[in-house]
Structure formats: C-alpha cells, structure tokens
C-alpha cells in the first residue's frame, strides 16, 4: 500500500540522486518535456496544486494515483518568472538548507494564483 501524504513535496535534483523514503521518483525521461523541471517543481509545490491534490486524493487509495491529471497551464512569461524564483530558492538552499525561502515561495503562489485566474474568494479558500 502506498503512503499518501497530506501534500505534495517535490524536489529538483540535477545530480540524479534517488531517495529511499519517498513514494514516487520521476525522471526527466518520463516527464512531458514541454515543461521545464524547475517550472514543474515550483508549480507542484504551490498552494494551488497542493489544495487540488488534497481535495482530489483526500481518501487514501490502493494502487496509487496519476499526477499527469494535474492541469498544467502554459504561459511562457509566468513559466519564466517561476523558473527564476525556483533558481533563487535552489541557490539559497544550496548555501544552507536551513535558509528561509518562504517569501520566494509566496511569490510563486501569487504567480500560480494568476496563472489559474483565481478570484480573491478562491484564493482565500486555498489560503485557509
């Protein structure tokens, strides 16, 4: 039986490391290459996608789930902004894994709210 967490936790790895205590590991060969891995990392760690994930997979299921069902918007300018912020987070975390990057993460959340055209009311629900 798979362990399903309360939220997605996605990490970017360019050194081809594998982790023992994880549910899923994806390699670039298995991902739609229309999207940058850094963009996907930022998007999948956003509050919006985690809210969607939690609602869709609220009850544990046997046999896993498909992350390819997450609607991934294509907006090149927003993708580039998210990639730039993810690169800043990676750089800061490389210097010290204890660095607080919550302000940068908040910037990604704000971009993702715009990407999905969410209303202030919808954002308030997600923020709760």
Lowest-pLDDT range of 4-13, 20-29, 81-90, 107-116: 20-29
Give the residue among 53, 46, 36 at the shortest CA–CA distance from 107: 46
Residue 113 pLDDT > 50, yes or no? yes
Token representation of residue 28: 């670039």
Confidence band, pLDDT 50/70/90 cuts, at residue 63: very low
Residue 16 pLDDT > 70, yes or no? no
Mean of the per-residue pLDDT values for the chain? 78
How far, in Å, CA of 47 to CA of 112, rounded?
A: 8
Single pTM value for the model:
0.71
- What is the average per-residue pLDDT within 29-47? 78
Token representation of residue 14: 């360019």
């Amino acid at each position: 039986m798979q362990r399903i967490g309360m939220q997605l936790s996605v990490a970017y790895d360019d050194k081809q490391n594998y982790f023992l205590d994880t549910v899923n590991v994806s390699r670039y060969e298995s991902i739609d290459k229309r999207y940058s891995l850094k963009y996907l990392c930022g998007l999948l760690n956003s509050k919006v996608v985690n809210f969607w994930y939690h609602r869709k997979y609220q009850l544990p299921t046997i046999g896993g789930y498909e992350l390819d069902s997450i609607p991934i918007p294509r907006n090149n300018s927003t993708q580039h902004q998210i990639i730039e912020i993810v690169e800043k987070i990676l750089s800061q975390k490389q210097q010290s894994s204890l660095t607080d990057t919550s302000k940068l993460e908040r910037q990604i959340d704000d971009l993702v709210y715009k990407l999905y055209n969410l209303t202030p009311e919808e954002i308030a629900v997600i923020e709760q």
